Structure 1
Amino acid sequence: MTYYRHQLPQLSDSIFITDGGLETVLLFQQGWALPDFATFPLMDSPLGMEAMHHYFNTYGALAQTYGMGLVLESPTWRASADWGQRQGYDAAKLADVNRRAIALLQLTRSTYSTPHSPIVISGCIGPRSDGYRPKHLMDATTAERYHQAQINTFRSTAADLVTALTMTYTEEAIGITQAAKKVQMPVVISFTVETNGKLPTGMELKEAIQMVDQATDGYVAYYMINCAHPIHFDRELINQGPWVERIKGIRANASMMSHAELNESETLDEGNPQDLGERFYILKQKLPHLTVLGGCCGTDQRHIEAICETLSPAQVY
């Protein structure tokens, strides 16, 4: 059963947190092998399922404790055709694992959702190519065809929306939006940026958002930024005009390193949770329209709790 597909609560003024960096927690903190940074194969392991169930429950408990909403992304960032084939998954197995990933999040929602801490379930979509350095760029029509199958699967589940994380160029974002529009699924587009605040292609964030909106008649529910530290993009957002209000979510890295440095690092840079929480507080004061706040690479429950502590309602439930 879908709860919020026709009225996303994070479009209100209430604050919603997200989880942290699922992949980096599983890989660096818990020791799971994640070929291609893919977590969805763990859905076929009882121990893997248990680890992810515990992981998502951690954030359900945080949201309930601090009286905040929660947006949970399914562990399916790599569960599309090309990446799935590399892990031995055909179309039928991919559809099945995408459905079961949403069912996993339903367990957390049934346990922790309250009137003060509603839980929104998102079907997570990742880029067809590398999330930092895309090697094979598609036109929008090709991107729509590629991502349609995964979006169609989410459409038949309890997912309230689909979210495309770590988008690196506009044509893929447009294709995903068109695929979601075709089946009337709400969609969020989250771009990643380099240390200069621009997309990996060199495009300005403002231009990317305006291009996607123009090509899709503004169908995107809202935009996000993920997989970058606030120092990489805060100057691109503050006092930069009305277009910034289309950005309602930030999932930040704990590390201040560049994408290239993160790619080469063999250890996890966990940054400073308190510092990250304070930076989110400043962003929220400067950009009051931000409602979805959370983590990406290197973040865990400590970073998200720091965000909760700085931004929680006056009363903790």
Structure 2
Amino acid sequence: MQSRALVCDGAAGTQIQAAELTAEDFDGLDGCNEYLNLSRPDVIADLHRRYLEAGADVIQTNTFGAIRYVLDEYDVGDKLEEISAAAARIAREQADRFSTPERPRFVLGGIGPGTRLVTLGNVSFDDVVESYRAAFIELIRGGADGLLIETLQDLLHAKACLIAVAEAMEEEGRALPVFVQVTMEQTGTMLMGSEIQAVINAVSAFPYVVSLGLNCATGPEEMVPHVRALSKHWPGLISVQPNAGLPVMEKGEAAYKLTPDELATFHHRFVSEFGVSLVGGCCGTTPKHIEAVAEAVAGLTPAKRDAIEPLVGLSSLYQFQPYDQSPSFLIVGERTNANGSKMFRELLAKEDWQALTEMAREQEREGAHVLDVCAAYVGRDEVKDMDRLLFEFARQVTVPIMIDSTEVNVIEASLKRLPGKPVINSINFEDGDTRTEKVLTLCRKYGAGVVGLTIDEEGMAKTKERKVAIADRILEWTRRFGIPDEDVFIDALTFTLGSGDAEFRTA
């Protein structure tokens, strides 16, 4: 994909609709396209065949809605594994039929966003992980060459899907290329309001993602600024699969008017100007569109992107927040902390979630770049409180969150509520390495930065030599877990002279 742009297939739903299938073809489950893997495998095989004949290098499994809670809407959630296995088998057989030593054909095991969003509370984080993991395991076993999460509308949902992918690959003992495609609406953001820079920053925290790209919602013209941003800031491969333009209503149905040649012209530009490596189509595209695209990019080498500008910082659901705030500095708001704010504690005791959220928004208005959130309050359930607080904050606060807790279970519950890339406060060696190892495992799994305190088994470091020694030990551990140095903050626990304690004058 670095030496030659690959061509992916186009719309599946459009082709299935064109097949004019009856309710009997779906075994009475009209609209459940994934069930056709079982009831009409010949139809799905023919769909793959037509795209391969058109020149596609890559085909996607018919598993867009292979999600247990989606299939439950048709009362076939218990068939998730069977449906996914069949989809992988059908695609693999067709790809192998068209493969040659000179031109192999590939299968992407792809799953869409489902019908519910984690950030809105329509489905739990754990339910998403369970369902996607089960499907991806079958796609891996069935011979997929790579795994795709597509048409993503919610960054928190994306995070759950990525964890599911990692767990599936670990369970099967196979590391496959992982592709992520988000959907940017005509508003210029994802459905939940995420800017493309927030997407790039958040996904960058998962090193097994080899490709980030766009699909659905709009045509290629509307995707240009987002493709440009990916080309500038995303260090990995880029994929683009637009709709055949914006739909227009004709006789009560959506019609897509972008011609094959028009799509091909845009993809030639995406490859030659922005370095896109995987091109294809989404809603409204047909084998004719893919044939034109394949001809347009044949032998085309993706443009080199030598001046990548990584987005170093954190992100919320909505926006990217750089660590470097020159000529100022990164400001962390600390009023949303039960240990430091009497008002926060009182509102927490009343469970006045709206007032607590307003406290967070007030800090944001006053210029805080990150909000430190701590709900540790004697006599209360910290996991429950953080879960509810961050459910509100994630949707109503635009700056990233610093999770402030000493409890590993609280930290993990918090990470399951936060879209984007947060930071954890904190790790130290007061009780040895055990807790640090657990927290860094969570940082790697969920994609988070971390604060390290210069404290070890002997207590808080009071000399510069011990502070540096403990800081080196912290970095040794974070590097072991693959946490980039730029995502590690060392808190040297310095005391002002105004503290009045002679013991800490040199600390």
Aligned to 1:110: 96
Distance in 2, matches of 1:111 and 1:120, equals 11
Distance in 1, matches of 2:130 and 2:151, equals 19
- 1:61 is displaced (CA, Å) by 2.0
Segment drifting more, 241-250 vs 149-158 = 241-250
With over 3 angstroms needed to count, the CA separation of the structure-2 counterparts of 1:265 and 1:136, relative to structure 1, is farther
Aligned to 2:261: 274
8 A Cα contact 2:220 2:245, kept in partner = no
Aligned to 2:34: 40
The secondary structure found in structure 2 opposite 1:295 is: coil
Question: Is 1:171 paired with 2:156?
Answer: yes
Distance in 2, matches of 1:102 and 1:170, equals 26
Question: Is 1:220 paired with 2:209?
Answer: yes
Aligned to 1:200: 191
- 1:110 is displaced (CA, Å) by 2.0
The secondary structure found in structure 2 opposite 1:162 is: strand
8 A Cα contact 2:132 2:164, kept in partner = yes
User: % of aligned pairs identical?
Assistant: 20
1:199-245 CA-to-partner distances (Å, cap 9, x unmatched) read 1111111211211322x3x2212112111311222023326763244
- 1:140 is displaced (CA, Å) by 4.8
RMSD: 2.7
Aligned to 1:59: 51
Aligned to 1:253: 243
8 A Cα contact 1:206 1:244, kept in partner = no
The secondary structure found in structure 2 opposite 1:233 is: helix
- 1:141 is displaced (CA, Å) by 4.6
Which of 265, 280, 284 matches 1:298?
284
TM-score (norm 2): 0.52
Aligned to 2:490: none
Aligned to 2:142: 157
TM-score (norm 1): 0.81
Which of 6, 16, 33 matches 2:6?
16
Which of 168, 180, 196 matches 1:189?
180
8 A Cα contact 2:4 2:299, kept in partner = no
Which of 221, 226, 230 matches 1:231?
221
8 A Cα contact 1:169 1:208, kept in partner = no
Question: Is 1:77 paired with 2:67?
Answer: no
Aligned amino acid, residue 74 of structure 2:
Q
8 A Cα contact 1:254 1:276, kept in partner = yes
8 A Cα contact 2:37 2:83, kept in partner = yes
With over 3 angstroms needed to count, the CA separation of the structure-2 counterparts of 1:38 and 1:224, relative to structure 1, is farther
- 1:164 is displaced (CA, Å) by 0.9
Segment drifting more, 32-41 vs 161-170 = 32-41
Question: 1 or 2 for the larger relative contact order (CA 8 Å, sep ≥6)?
Answer: 1
Aligned amino acid, residue 234 of structure 1:
V
Distance in 2, matches of 1:240 and 1:55, equals 31
Distance in 2, matches of 1:73 and 1:242, equals 27
Distance in 1, matches of 2:112 and 2:197, equals 21
Distance in 2, matches of 1:240 and 1:54, equals 34
8 A Cα contact 1:270 1:299, kept in partner = no
- 1:97 is displaced (CA, Å) by 1.5
1:248-289 CA-to-partner distances (Å, cap 9, x unmatched) read 1111100224xxx78x9614324211111111111212112x
Mark the structure with the bigger radius of gyration. Answer: 2
Distance in 1, matches of 2:34 and 2:280, equals 21
8 A Cα contact 1:142 1:175, kept in partner = no
Distance in 2, matches of 1:41 and 1:89, equals 9
1:61-102 CA-to-partner distances (Å, cap 9, x unmatched) read 233xxxxx61211101111111211223142x2211111111
Q: Which runs of 5+ in 1 are unaligned?
A: 1-9, 64-68
Aligned to 1:146: 131
Distance in 2, matches of 1:239 and 1:87, equals 39
Aligned amino acid, residue 192 of structure 1:
T
